[in-house]
Amino acid sequence: DAGVTQSPTHLIKTRGQQVTLRCSPKSGHDTVSWYQQALGQGPQFIFQYYEEEERQRGNFPDRFSGHQFPNYSSELNVNALLLGDSALYLCASSLATVDEQFFGPGTRLTVL
Amino acid sequence: AQSVAQPEDQVNVAEGNPLTVKCTYSVSGNPYLFWYVQYPNRGLQFLLKYITGDNLVKGSYGFEAEFNKSQTSFHLKKPSALVSDSALYFCAVRDTSSGGSYIPTFGRGTSLIVHP
């Protein structure tokens, strides 16, 4: 079992650009959550997907959007990048009825 | 609303000594509590959780945590620290009351440094 995988590992973009991050959940998991972890901070919840629908959303602007595919993999899209979007983006997978989340290694996004 | 606080940015301990990483929480109903560890350039790894039952929860790598409802705390402990335990530790809480979020709130993290 490969666990939760994310791609790419690192990404450098400039202000105003758009970015897409990808996540494959742990085998058997049907729920994917995305978090933003700024330097020196704990993970901040962006949104969660279940059955291809956004089930819950944190306090992030509409520039942040996502998608879940029938195979449960997920994408996080960020439009009109700002310098403040620079962070480690973590994907976590779980079963819908279980609290324990399994995290991927993250994608380090740097916005210049 | 749910919130969690980790009052120490950094904890230093000598190898072989016991360690404690502190966490306090605030919820409206009953809490689900979690500890995660993060090594450099890695995602978070689950250590242990409290749902209900015994106040002392045992987890991975010899870690344990004690749930104290009266003090609203969930401190992480280990009897004998290893240098390899040096990492960033996150406490998280989820409020199980009706209307509570299904999503945990994470603390800011505590950097544990174990000296040889």
The structure tokens listed for A11 are: 């990404």
Q: Nearest CB to B44: which of A40, A90, A99? A: A90
**Coil, helix or strand for A4?**
coil
Which residues of chain B lie closer than 8 angstroms to A103, CB-CB?
36, 43-45
Pairing mode, if any, of strands B19-21 and A107-111? unpaired
A7 — contact with chain B (CB < 8 Å)? no
Which residues constitute the domain of residue B96?
3-115
**Coil, helix or strand for A36?**
strand
Best of A34, A103, A109 to substitute, by most chain B Cβ atoms within 10 angstroms, is A103
**One-character DSSP codes across B7-73:** --SEEEEETTS-EEE--EEE-SSPEEEEEEEE-TT--EEEEEEE-SS-SEEE-GGG-EEEEETTTTE
Domain for residue A63, yes or no?
yes
- How far is B63 from B111, CA to CA, in rounded Å? 16
- Subunit contact B34:A42, Cβ cutoff 8 A: no
Domain for residue A71, yes or no?
yes
Max CA separation in chain A (angstroms):
40
Which residues constitute the domain of residue A17?
5-107
Best of A48, A89, A99, A109 to substitute, by most chain B Cβ atoms within 10 angstroms, is A99
Query: How many structural domains is chain B composed of?
Result: 1
Domain for residue A17, yes or no?
yes
Query: How many structural domains is chain A composed of?
Result: 1
CA dihedral B55, B94, B44, B12 (to 10 degrees): -50
Higher pLDDT, B104 or A97: B104
**Range A82-87 average pLDDT:** 97
The answer to whether B109 touches B88, Cβ cutoff 8 Å, is: yes
CA dihedral B78, B44, A102, A33 (to 10 degrees): 140
Q: Nearest CB to A100: which of B49, B106, B109? A: B49
Domain for residue A82, yes or no?
yes
- How far is B6 from B111, CA to CA, in rounded Å? 10
pLDDT one-digit tens code per residue, A70-80 = 999 999 999 99
Mean pLDDT of chain A: 94
Domain for residue A112, yes or no?
no
Domain for residue A80, yes or no?
yes
Q: Nearest CB to A45: which of B43, B103, B109? A: B103
Domain for residue A21, yes or no?
yes
pLDDT one-digit tens code per residue, B1-51 = 889 999 999 999 999 999 999 999 999 888 999 999 999 878 899 999 999
**Range B62-83 average pLDDT:** 97
Per-residue pLDDT at B103: 85
Tell me, what CATH number does A95's domain have? Answer: 2.60.40.10
Q: Nearest CB to B32: which of A35, A99, A108? A: A99
The structure tokens listed for B67 are: 């749930």
- How far is B17 from B6, CA to CA, in rounded Å? 21
Per-residue pLDDT at B101: 65
Which residues of chain A lie closer than 8 angstroms to B44, CB-CB?
43, 90, 92, 103
Tell me, what CATH number does B53's domain have? Answer: 2.60.40.10
A95 — contact with chain B (CB < 8 Å)? no
Pairing mode, if any, of strands B110-115 and B10-14? parallel
B82 — contact with chain A (CB < 8 Å)? no
- Confidence band for B99, pLDDT divided at 50, 70 and 90: low
The structure tokens listed for B10 are: 């950094």
Whether the per-residue pLDDT at B98 is higher than 70: the answer is no
